[in-house]
Chains A and B, each alone.
Chain A
Amino acid sequence: MASLRPLSRGPFLLLLIFFVFSLSLLRPIQGNGGSDGGGGGEEFSEELLLKPLPDRKVLAHFHFRSAAPPSAANGRHHHLFPKAIAQLVQKFQIRELELSFTQGRWNYERWGGSDPISTRNAKPPGVELWALFDLPTEEIDPTWKNLTHALSGLFCASINFLESPTAYSSPYWGFLSNNGNLRYGALPREAVCTENLTPWLKILPCRDKAGIASLLYRPSIYKGYYHSQRLRLLSSESKGIILEQTLTVVLQPNSYTSSLLSSSDAQLQPSWSLSQLFKKEMTGKCVLAKSSKIFLELERGLLEKIVEIRDDSWIGKFDGQVGSSLYEYKVDNSNENKPLDVGITWKLPLVWSSVHAPFQASRFLMGSGNERGSIAISLQSTQTHDQYFGDLNDCTVPVIVLQVVPWYVKVYYHTLQISIDGKPQTLSDVIEKIQVTPSEDKLLPGTLEIMLRFPCSMLSATLSLDFDKDSYTLTNILQMSYPDYDVSDDSSLLHNLQEKYLVRSYTEVLLVPLTTPDFSMPYNVITFTCTVLALYFGSLLNVLRGGLVRREIISQKDSARPGLVPLYFLGYLPAKE
């Protein structure tokens, strides 16, 4: 009974995701000027989604999609598709790959937790890379190493630090179900900047010279609250290679004008437009693109009374996901003289909230001191279950927790405790599936994958695990790939699964301060230790020998042979009383 409702809703939501991203490709394109640019079945399309967020910010989501037909069709030559990427896929036999560079943390509470934008584009800070290979198991690890090096060259980032086995893990089903051919690695401390964006833009056929990408004015996009650039590759024998590049930024529109107005107007959400947000104007599409579109997403019913759309040249209006409308603009119509300036102006103040995920996840470190502690993951229900699951009484929510811990955090997996609404639970009641890969010192990070089944009526749940902290050695610090010895490497991933509907959220990166010996004077330590050992060895040997020498002397005295005077004196030297 319980599973009937979600089943009916699942395909609907999936369909919408598909709708947002791929609608433009399915629809025939009228009057396109660039279709002759993409030869050989390769195609490129660009899209931009704009959406006001409840906390006076604006989400801009750029989406570029390149597709190449199966490589046999046109050999090694590409017209539109980036050659570097195609070579990468061929050389490393990549089935799927996702690389993201992120700055800032996605605010699940305010910016939404279950819509397709947030579940796909909310990424952990720093670099995250995962790949599925189409290779035999023993070749995967060397290939992963080469891949990290190739990517770090391509994107000017230190992705090569993911080559060491301590930096990546291979979850079996916690991240994506796979047959052991998935590798997952993250570098939370990687700084993301324009040097990573430039090579990313180079992959685009028009770079940032024309089309939607020309909006990417560096000072304005790096000023934002969240910045995540993502590259996703899908390759298959039948469909060829599909490359999706997305850039998600959360920007604060300038609201000088509104702040100068009266206090009642200060309640208003800031009004914005493309040119104001990006300090650039939209002056035409990339001629190579098959389609080039801008979408504006607003809560349904807002348009007439509360919001005024600045440029009403939209050509279509669709119903988006739960409670929102999408307005579609074509970039083709704009030119130097008539730039497309999509934007909204608020007329009345409005407070609304984004769609929450069924649970809000956060992670804490407990305990003080540098010896031990524990990790706690807490799930707070957002009280929106009826929206997702329907009947609360006898339904359950599956939740997958993936927790990767670096080797220097030694987790005692037998201390796993789960409590629901503050009451400790018997593990076997809640855990459906568990997979533990314990960490090996200096070799392997520990991976914990648990599938839990919680009752829908649950308000909060807590998972806790105890750990000991390892201390650092001098060599470790010298060989450390990046000055990261205080960061617990991975964010735990939580998925809430309900049949086909999947919400993914990352928790905070944790800082784990570690014991550091005093490395200022290693030679003192070495000499002191050796001195103590020498003291032990020397004095014990001396004691053992002492009696012998004395007896020798006595016997020499007894025999009193004058011929051996030098030896006689030598006998006195090391004697111990």
Chain B
Amino acid sequence: MAEIRPYWALAAAAALGFRVLLLILFPGDLHLGSRPEVATPLTSLRRLSEGYWLKQSSMSPYAGSMYHGSPLLLPILGPLTAERTDGQPAHFYCSLLFVVVDFVTAMLIRATGQKLLLSRRQSLEYLNLPKLVKNSANINAGDLASLIYLWNPLTIVTCLGLCSSPIDNLMVVLTIYAACSRLAPLAAFGYVLATHLSLYPAILILPVILLLGYGPDAPPAKLFLHKSSNSDGKDPSNNDESRSAVTTHKPVRCFSRRPVVHFMIWVSIWSCYVLFLCSIYLKGLGGLQEMFKKTYGFILTVGDLSPNIGVLWYFFAEVFEFFRNFFLIVFHVNILFMILPLAIRLKHRPCFLAFVYTAISAMLKSYPSVGDSALYLGLLGLFANELADMQFSFFLFFGYIGVSLLSPVMHNLWIWRGTGNANFYFATGLVYSCLQTVLIVESVSTMLKHDRMLRKHVIA
């Protein structure tokens, strides 16, 4: 597996080439932009161009219930979605932009993976576990994860599907990457924009602070304490030349406040800046209050109940109005409830924590799309070494394939042919949620087992 590296550039180029090829071969016949799996009311570019059109005719882009995205996307993507007369299909340049965005995301994932790999190697060597290093560390997680991200059919569909999810994903990945490299301003930029674009990345604040404070993922701090107390007491018998170079200067991890404070300051600067830009753009058209109501309010109140791959739309279509607010609170709190327990148990692995948060919000968000899945599946590759002995991976793999094949069929039967029933489509949504649940639970449990195994090795 160490031989990924030579082929990485080739595989990545092939993935990008494949996208461009699809773009040229099917210049508008794929109709992915109107698939409920791909484009949600929040990310659909069709709605974005409606918002852009409204803005052009000097109305608020949020007039009507069409556009719910960020006002900052309008001046960037709006002109690209407008009808073209130079022979190219309307959204050609927009899709090309998304291909580039996907590539940047993949590069950032790769760089994050390399940071994680380095940190893992250092800490394992410090813990004096050369066996583990030799066993598994030779999977280059960064290369693997970026290739998973690039070749994932869900990512390809999202990239060509005319929705703004690739940009949302880029911002999340940028946040994680910058936090891993302890670049507070960049991390703050990514964090603020990701939150601004899709709200849910707001919960990434914990992993980002942990990353900035403690550095990338490592085994639990207790093991280091144990090790250092051992090595203080005893003569360091197996102090080889190989590890001394990297590990001797590595201290026991302690929380460094400086980058975190920097991060906080930069977050406030960037958010003021973003709000300022938004208010300039929306000047005289309803202002920021309308923006908050139409974007975050729309996300939190689940206003649009058109079918999507989640379960909330059907739930809120069926539930009586009287209980609606109660269930809204329950579902949103479900995301928030898990933040703290996870952060306590996984505080030594902030990157993994970020992955779990992303997966949870992808499952429980009001308007889920395959773009969110593409993101967390890509991030999952970063932990290939730790999660090597995950259970149910076969079941999960084929579950994802099965659902992604069945769901469009059920949708077609219900909406287009009129022979199916909404319940069948909803059932695929339920199965999909279950699969994501299993994935999250299993990956967390495997990670905890991995730490336990490390402890066993260290103590033994």
Within 8 A of A (CB), among B411-440: 414-416, 418, 421-423, 426, 430, 433-434, 437, 440
B325 to chain A, nearest CB (A): 13
Which secondary structure characterizes the binding site on chain A? mixed
Query: Taking the complex as formed, is A525 at the interface, i.e. its CB lies under 8 A from any CB of chain B?
Result: yes
Q: Do residues A529 and B315 form an inter-chain contact, with CB atoms below 8 A?
A: yes
Contact residues in A for B57 (Cβ distance below 8 Å): 434, 436
Query: Taking the complex as formed, is A574 at the interface, i.e. its CB lies under 8 A from any CB of chain B?
Result: no
Q: Do residues A543 and B415 form an inter-chain contact, with CB atoms below 8 A?
A: no
Contact with A along B153-166 (1 / 0, CB 8 A): 00000000000000
Q: Do residues A410 and B321 form an inter-chain contact, with CB atoms below 8 A?
A: no
A432 to chain B, nearest CB (A): 14
Within 8 A of B (CB), among A396-416: 407, 410, 412-414
Given the known inter-chain contacts A414-B49, A540-B338, please indicate yes or no for A438 contacting B66, CB distance below 8 A: yes
Query: Taking the complex as formed, is B210 at the interface, i.e. its CB lies under 8 A from any CB of chain A?
Result: no
Q: How many A-B residue pairs have CB under 8 A?
A: 145
Contact with B along A353-374 (1 / 0, CB 8 A): 0000000000000001111100
Contact residues in A for B318 (Cβ distance below 8 Å): 473-474, 517, 519, 522, 525-526
Query: Taking the complex as formed, is A565 at the interface, i.e. its CB lies under 8 A from any CB of chain B?
Result: no
A566 to B342, CA, bound (A): 29
Q: Do residues A543 and B445 form an inter-chain contact, with CB atoms below 8 A?
A: yes
Within 8 A of B (CB), among A99-131: none
**Residues in A lying within 8 Å of B, measured CB to CB:** 368-372, 407, 410, 412-414, 434, 436-441, 446, 468, 470-475, 479, 515-519, 521-522, 525-526, 528-529, 532-533, 535-537, 539-541, 543-547
Contact residues in A for B69 (Cβ distance below 8 Å): none
Contact residues in B for A471 (Cβ distance below 8 Å): 305-307, 317
Query: Taking the complex as formed, is B194 at the interface, i.e. its CB lies under 8 A from any CB of chain A?
Result: no
A436 to B54, CA, bound (A): 9
Q: Do residues A410 and B66 form an inter-chain contact, with CB atoms below 8 A?
A: yes
The one of A410, A517, A544 in contact with B444, judged by C-beta atoms closer than 8 angstroms, is: A544
Given the known inter-chain contacts A436-B59, A529-B311, A544-B341, please indicate yes or no for A536 contacting B422, CB distance below 8 A: no
B352 to chain A, nearest CB (A): 13
B114 to chain A, nearest CB (A): 29
A516 to B306, CA, bound (A): 10
A370 to B448, CA, bound (A): 47
Q: Which residue from chain A places its CB closest to the CB of B81 in the assembled complex?
A: A414
Q: Do residues B311 and A532 form an inter-chain contact, with CB atoms below 8 A?
A: yes
A470 to B306, CA, bound (A): 6
Q: Do residues B307 and A547 form an inter-chain contact, with CB atoms below 8 A?
A: no
A518 to B423, CA, bound (A): 7
Query: Taking the complex as formed, is B386 at the interface, i.e. its CB lies under 8 A from any CB of chain A?
Result: no
Q: Do residues A537 and B337 form an inter-chain contact, with CB atoms below 8 A?
A: yes
A100 to B236, CA, bound (A): 99
Q: Do residues A410 and B46 form an inter-chain contact, with CB atoms below 8 A?
A: no
Contact residues in B for A541 (Cβ distance below 8 Å): 338, 341
Query: Taking the complex as formed, is B65 at the interface, i.e. its CB lies under 8 A from any CB of chain A?
Result: yes
The one of B363, B430, B452 in contact with A547, judged by C-beta atoms closer than 8 angstroms, is: B452
Q: Do residues A536 and B441 form an inter-chain contact, with CB atoms below 8 A?
A: yes
A436 to B331, CA, bound (A): 36
Given the known inter-chain contacts A371-B416, A438-B63, please indicate yes or no for A532 contacting B334, CB distance below 8 A: no
Offer 10 A-B interface pairs, CB within 8 angstroms, sorted by A. Answer: A410-B65, A412-B46, A413-B50, A413-B54, A439-B64, A475-B324, A533-B330, A537-B337, A539-B437, A543-B445
